Amino acid sequence: MNINKINFQEPIITQKNIPAPVRVETEEALPVTGEKVSISSAGPVDAVSASRPNVIKQAEKIALGVVKIDTHTVKLDTGESRKILTAGSDHFKSFWTRDACYGLMGIVDKKDGQKLIKDVLQTLFDRSDSSGELPRRQGDYKNSFMLVLSALGMKSPDPKNIDIVEYNNELGAHQFDSTALPIILSAEYYKHSGDKKFIEKNYKAINKSIAWLEKMDTQVSLKLINQPGSGDWKDIVRRSGMVGYTNAQLYGAFKAAAQINRTMGDWEKAEHNEKYAAKIKKEFNAVLWDEKKGWYRDSDCIDMFSPDGNMFAVIYGIADKRQTGRVISKLEDFMNKSSLPFPATEGDYPESMIPVAAKLTGMNHYHDRYIWPWQGGVMAVACVKAGRPDLGKKVLSKIAEQTVKDGSFYEVYNYEGDVKPVRTLVYKSEPDFLWGAGTYLWAARELKDAKKNIPSTDAVPKKAELMEDKGFIIK
């Protein structure tokens, strides 16, 4: 989540002795399956539920419930009504592109999910700016207003018309994945729905957006984006340079665009985008791969392990067979060091990268030590792509146990003491966190598919003999 939304907080205090909110449950039909399931505002459930053997399925129902909670119908300035997704149910009740795209990856194969995806993507492409950049956030009020509400402990209002459209964040930084992810999701949507009319309608906008991403390469010799500080989801630490996460999404977007080009019979553009993606892949490995350590660096500026870029390098097929094995091994080791997968980085970012406001308010470790469970869902997907569904299931089980215990998907967890959602004097971890629920559903879908296509656990290749990399949009 874009932490520029919480620039001023009080120092962290322990959650011990702070009562969790009561969960009031109701039964409603899920938007993507029609199945009846209890959904509600965040809060814990009894410990007995968390120990049931079908905990993964229980958490999947909670995740689908989160999608239901975060789905809102808005009326656009054109007079048209559309369904959109908010990032959460408390202070992040705006339409954040990044969160919405991750939130939808797990339901691309559901008919009702496809209707929601179509509305979300259409709203994004309709609001592409003249350069092709897509919005990072849309809401009924500016993000700065949400900051005030959050600081006062007040819940944000439900979106009604999302007429405030933001492209850059408060520091003026582009959010590159907010343009890349809709292209990737579009390819996945078409792959599962066969809705060519949607691709035809938005083909010009998609090409314009991929062209914008290409223009973001301001370097002479390299195709990787050299981003300014605050240009990705870890904006509180303002990491800059050639960041693994950002450039993995860049590669994924060009591969997706080439796939869409082929769908339209646009062979010239397809060839261009494939060649551009190949250059990104080559440079990604040349600049970021650490052969001695066996994983990709956080960026060319920071020689530290950050799970995000590593996981997507495996998923999209940037990592080769041998690299995939080493990255998965590192992720497994990192996961085993934490009760819940997992902190945003292994180690702390330099003090010089942390804004003074974050230090004064106790939020300086938000994007390194804090635990972000959405990463566990992505790791599970990476494990499936690497031919390790057994490990993917283990990762998902850890998330599921915590989710069922808490009764919701939360944004961030404490890194010290009891594993609980973060709660400070003026900030609390977002409940019904769409990004976490969406990546969980994505992983659950991939694991189900793996049962049909991948041999049993005993036959899964060892880490040194992993299957060929199969990024989800590679073929």
d(CA 124, CA 276): 24
Closest CA to 428 of 47, 140, 18: 18
Beta bridge partners of 423: 428
pLDDT of amino acid 372: 97
pLDDT of amino acid 5: 33
Residue 350's contacts (CB-CB under 8 Å, 6 or more residues apart) are 302
pLDDT of amino acid 143: 74
- Please state whether 172 falls in left (phi above 0), alpha (psi between -120 and 50) or beta: left
d(CA 331, CA 97): 27
Q: Which residue has the tokens 């091994």?
A: 329
Query: Model pTM?
Result: 0.86
For residue 460, give the amino acid letter.
V
- Ordered per-residue pLDDT tens for the chain, 475 residues: 333 332 222 222 233 333 343 343 444 444 454 444 444 444 444 443 344 449 999 999 999 999 999 999 999 989 999 999 999 999 899 999 999 999 999 999 999 999 999 999 999 999 999 999 999 999 998 876 676 666 667 788 899 999 999 999 988 999 999 999 999 999 999 999 999 999 999 999 999 999 999 999 877 778 999 999 999 999 889 999 999 999 999 999 999 999 999 999 999 999 999 999 999 999 999 999 999 999 999 999 999 999 999 999 999 999 999 999 999 999 999 999 988 999 999 999 999 999 888 887 778 899 999 999 999 999 999 999 999 999 999 999 999 999 999 999 999 999 888 899 998 776 789 999 999 999 999 999 999 999 887 443 333 333 333 333 333 333 3
The SS3 call for residue 467 is coil
Our measurement of the distance from residue 90's CA atom to the centroid of its chain's CA atoms, rounded to an integer in Å, reads: 19
d(CA 23, CA 59): 16
Closest CA to 233 of 121, 330, 345: 345
Residue ranges and CATH numbers for the domains of the chain are 3-465 (1.50.10.10)
d(CA 258, CA 275): 9
